[in-house]
Every structure is written in C-alpha cells, then in structure tokens.
Amino acid sequence: MKLFSSVHDVQDIKQLVASALALKASPYAHSDLGKNKTLGLVFMNPSLRTRLSTQKAALNLGMNVMVMNMDKEGWALETQDGVIMNGTTVEHIREAAAVMGEYCDILGLRSFPKLQNRDEDYNEEFFNKFVKFCGVPVVSLESATRHPLQSLADLVTITETWKPIPNPSQREGSSKSLNLAEGETPLPLGEAGRGLPKVVLAWAPHIKPLPQAVPNSFAEWMCKAQAEGMLDFTIAQPEGFELEESFTPGAKISHNLDEAIADADYVYVKNWSSYKEYGKLLDFPEGWMMNNKKLSLTNNAKVMHCLPVRRDLELASEILDGPNSLVIHEAGNRLWAAQAVLKAMLEEL
C-alpha cells in the first residue's frame, strides 16, 4: 500500500481487518519488518488516540518514530501556489513535505478542515499536496474529509464483537469473540451462519460546528462493508445534516432516530455539522442524544463513538459508563488498525 487516505485505497477490506486482528493476537510477530525504517507523524492539529496508537503501532513493527507538531514546533505553512509569500506563512508545503520525505520512509499527516470554504476542504488541498510533494507513502491521521484509521478500527471492532456463528458446533471456540485463543482471530463478518449486524450511524448534538471527516469516513467504510455482504447500514440525522452523497452509496437514510435504531446491533454516535450550510452551527431538534431509553429500542445494541466525546451533550454518561459501551475497546483497536496499515506499507517499501 502506498497511500491510506480512504477506503478506496484498500484492495480487500476483509483481509485488512483480518490482518489487524491477527496483529492483535500476535503484536510482535513482525517486529523486524520496520528495522531501520522511520515513521514521521506530522500534526497540524491536536491528537491523543491517533498520536499514541500510531506511534505504538510503529514501535511494535520495529520502526523508529519522529513526531512533528507542525503547528507548534515548525513554521507556518503556505498551501496556495502562485502567491508571493510576503505575509504570515514562512514555508510552502511543497518544500516542507518534500523535506520530511527526505528523512522518513512513511509519513502520517493530520490536517483538519478549516470549515470556511467547502470546496477547499473537500478538494483535500492540503492533504493531497502533502502526498504529492513528500514522495513517500502517506497514512492519513485524519484529513479534512476522512479519518480512515478510525473507520478501520471501527470495522475491526464490529467484526471482533459481533456474535459468532449461532451453532457453536460449527467451530470450536466460536463463542468467545472477545476471548480468543492466542493467534486465533474472529471469522469475517458475513461468513455462513454468522448473520449480519445492523449498524446505525446516529447524528448527535454539539455546541460547535464539527468536521464531517469521521462520519464521512465511517459511512464510506460501512457502505463498502455492506456491499461486500458484511453488515447492514443505516444513517440517521436531522434534516439538513445529510452527508455528501458520494460517501453514502447504498446506505439507508433516515430522519427519525427512533425508527432508525430499532433492532440495531451497533449504534455509532457522532456529531457533525451541515454539509449544505457549510461551517454553520444549525439549530437542531430535540431528542437526538442516545441514552438508555433510546437504547431500549435497539437489539441491546453496542454503542460506539470515536472520541473525544462530550458527555451528556453528545452521548449520555449512563451509556458510556454502562455495559453496552464499546468506546474504549474501539479506541484500543486503533492500535491494530494502524499496525495493519503500516505493515502493508512496509511490505511494499
């Protein structure tokens, strides 16, 4: 793999999920693969999970890691071409990216959208220029419109926690999806007899206009998984909060949360701001925060969130602190998602 920026960069998502789960079972099985290889992690924005999980993933593969908080430790970057740089930007992304490529074998980049100009954000100008000019394989650590390491971890989490084949006699140990023997990984979703989980992406309230990167990306991966017969996917949001259509092919769309989550097996809670009224904080209706009452409408659904989460604004504490929450488990799987991607890149260096 030379680029990991979206689900479209992945040839076989089932295989990538299986690779992540195999690495979870044997984290150090490839600890020589990254010898003398260096991962550079470039942050234009804050990061906790991505920062730590990707570092750890690289260390597990024997790589060296260098972290660059470009927004704080480096120089203000220009991204536009053809401008005379006589303002506040000190270095052009053409040079900055190329230089980082000189020192690193693989680069990771986090660059949030500005939420001011939709075209600029959705063209992924910053991310794409970085990829173009750095000259080495790049992993997205969340770009303006996508967060694919998160989405891969989410699919890994669903695969891992979904109920196994109903008839245990079909496969020894199949009932211990979270407690597999060493080296053993769950069967892929959609395997004969395993049944399909109903997964719902549920919009949630917030006090700020947030990017669409996580929901875009989650939708894109779930739609792909649905197309491959791995699950059933629905998106619920208030009117006016529809995601850009190219991210949601085949998804069922609902404006009624209660109807959408009926019989759901997984509810993925996330706020995002309007794509149509870009960058604005729209009014939204009551009743869109997941809590135990709403949970009772589901098929005892597992509840997911990419974190950070604002408690009792986006998602009720009673869920986060209860038995149905997968949020920490899901964050833990960020490590294996990152390690699977880095492993695939190292194998092609």
Provide the annotated binding site. 47-50, 75, 110, 142, 147-150, 206, 270, 306-307, 310, 334
Stretch that binds a copy of itself, among 8-16, 73-81, 169-177, 234-242 (CB under 8 A): 73-81
**Residues contacting 112, CB < 8 A, separation 6+:** 44, 45, 142, 144, 211, 213
| Of the residues 25, 29, 33, 66, which one makes contact with a copy of itself according to CB under 8 A | 66
Query: Which of 28/299 has CB closer to a copy of itself?
Result: 28
Query: Which of 6/325 has CB closer to a copy of itself?
Result: 325
Query: Which of 47/151 has CB closer to a copy of itself?
Result: 47
Q: Contact between 267 and a copy of itself (CB under 8 A)?
A: no
| Of the residues 9, 33, 56, 253, which one makes contact with a copy of itself according to CB under 8 A | 56
| Of the residues 3, 181, 227, 328, which one makes contact with a copy of itself according to CB under 8 A | 328
SS (H, E, C) the chain: CCEECCHHHCCCHHHHHHHHHHHHHCCCCCCCCCCCCEEEEEECCCCCHHHHHHHHHHHHCCCEEEEEEHHHHCCCEECCCCCCCCCCCCEEHHHHHHHHHHHCCEEEEECCCCCCCHHHHHCCHHHHHHHHHHCCCEEECCCCCCCHHHHHHHHHHHHHHCCCCCCHHHCCCCCCCCCCCCCCCCCCCCCCCCCCCEEEEEECCCCCCCCCHHHHHHHHHHHHHHHCCCCEEEEECCCCCCCCHHHCCCCEEECCHHHHHCCCCEEEEECCCCCCCCCCCCCCCCCCCECHHHHCCCCCCEEECCCCCCECCCECHHHHCCCCECHHHHHHCHHHHHHHHHHHHHCCC
Q: Contact between 349 and a copy of itself (CB under 8 A)?
A: no
| Of the residues 94, 171, 252, 255, which one makes contact with a copy of itself according to CB under 8 A | 94
Query: Which of 44/189 has CB closer to a copy of itself?
Result: 44
Q: How far is the CB of 321 from a copy of itself (least distance, A)?
A: 8
| Of the residues 317, 322, 347, 349, which one makes contact with a copy of itself according to CB under 8 A | 317
Q: Contact between 52 and a copy of itself (CB under 8 A)?
A: yes
Q: Contact between 307 and a copy of itself (CB under 8 A)?
A: yes
| Of the residues 25, 29, 98, 165, which one makes contact with a copy of itself according to CB under 8 A | 98
Nearest CA-CA partner of 59 in 87, 28, 105: 28
Q: Contact between 23 and a copy of itself (CB under 8 A)?
A: no
Q: How far apart are CA 85 and CA 101, in angstroms?
A: 23
| Contacting a copy of itself within 176-235 (CB under 8 A) | 207
Query: Which of 188/205 has CB closer to a copy of itself?
Result: 205
Q: How far is the CB of 152 from a copy of itself (least distance, A)?
A: 16
Residues found near a copy of itself in the complex (CB under 8 A) = 27-28, 31, 36, 38, 40, 43, 46-49, 51-53, 55-56, 59-60, 64, 66, 68-70, 72-75, 78, 81-86, 89-92, 94-96, 98-100, 102-104, 207, 307-313, 317, 320-321, 327-328, 331-332, 335
